[in-house]
């Protein structure tokens, strides 16, 4: 009887131990699965932004925590990763710091609708044959609401043609913005009628932001092309085929 009782007790103890082990293993399995799903989802969201090809000057990429300017730029970047553009800028920390401040406002804190801001950026990239700018901003444009047809129109419409041809996909305000970008970029002089056509949709502050965005990204285009950032100076601006 004592032996049977002892065996029953040991059996129950073993069963309890197995149940606890099973519970722990199940918990670890679900925790691992959840973590894996997060990693997979993150990889799906993150878009590769650079090919890390050479520029005309060496890139400077200080390790995190070793350079205040580089770390300030990292705080603006997706996943805290410096772009090849940043690596060129960091050759001169004064330029890099001022650039980060200015374009932090243009990109993240201006008063324009996001779709119009990205149209301005993408269109200046097209007009200046700056594939690097387009490659950086096409996914951003799509993420803020520009459709595939709109992206294709921004890419394929000849300079000034949108001023005379009814748009097939752009809203009236985006059409006015594209004409405005064409004149600012290619003519510098913006006719009063073109200015007024955009001003109908924007207040005075937004008009200043519109000019700053187009002017700023003309600067970016010329900068990345002249320094051949990521070896993209001779690469044609891509034509979008899907989102």
Q: What is the pTM of this model?
A: 0.78
Q: In this predicted structure, what is the pLDDT of residue 8?
A: 53
Helices within the chain (DSSP H only)? 2-45, 68-76, 84-89, 93-108, 114-127, 131-144, 148-156, 172-182, 192-199, 204-226
Least confident among 86-100, 165-179, 207-221: 165-179
Band (pLDDT 50/70/90 cuts) for residue 39 is very low
pLDDT tens string 44-91: 233 456 888 999 999 999 999 999 999 999 999 988 999 999 999 999
For 208-218, write each residue's pLDDT tens digit: 999 999 999 99
């Amino acid at each position: 009887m004592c032996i049977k009782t002892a065996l029953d007790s040991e059996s129950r103890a073993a069963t309890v131990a197995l149940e606890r082990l099973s519970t722990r293993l199940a918990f670890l399995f679900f925790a691992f699965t959840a973590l894996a799903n997060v990693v997979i989802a993150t990889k799906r969201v993150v878009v590769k932004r650079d090919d890390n090809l050479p520029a005309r000057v060496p890139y400077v990429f200080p390790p995190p925590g070793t350079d205040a300017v580089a770390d300030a730029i990292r705080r603006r970047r997706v996943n805290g990763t410096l772009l090849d553009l940043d690596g060129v800028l960091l050759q001169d920390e004064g330029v890099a710091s001022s650039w980060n401040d200015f374009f932090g406002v243009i990109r993240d804190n201006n008063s324009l609708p996001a779709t119009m801001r990205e149209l301005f950026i993408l269109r200046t990239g097209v007009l200046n044959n700056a594939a690097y700018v387009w490659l950086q901003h096409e996914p951003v444009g799509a993420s803020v609401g520009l459709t595939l047809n709109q992206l294709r129109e921004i890419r394929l419409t000849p300079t000034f043609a949108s001023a005379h041809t009814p748009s097939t996909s752009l809203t009236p305000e985006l059409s006015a913005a594209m004409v405005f970008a064409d004149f600012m970029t290619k003519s510098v002089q913006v006719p009063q009628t073109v200015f007024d056509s955009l001003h109908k949709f924007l207040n005075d502050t937004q008009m200043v932001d519109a000019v700053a965005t187009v002017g700023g990204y003309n600067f970016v285009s010329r900068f990345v092309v002249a320094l051949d950032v990521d070896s993209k100076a001779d690469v044609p601006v891509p034509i979008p085929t899907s989102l």
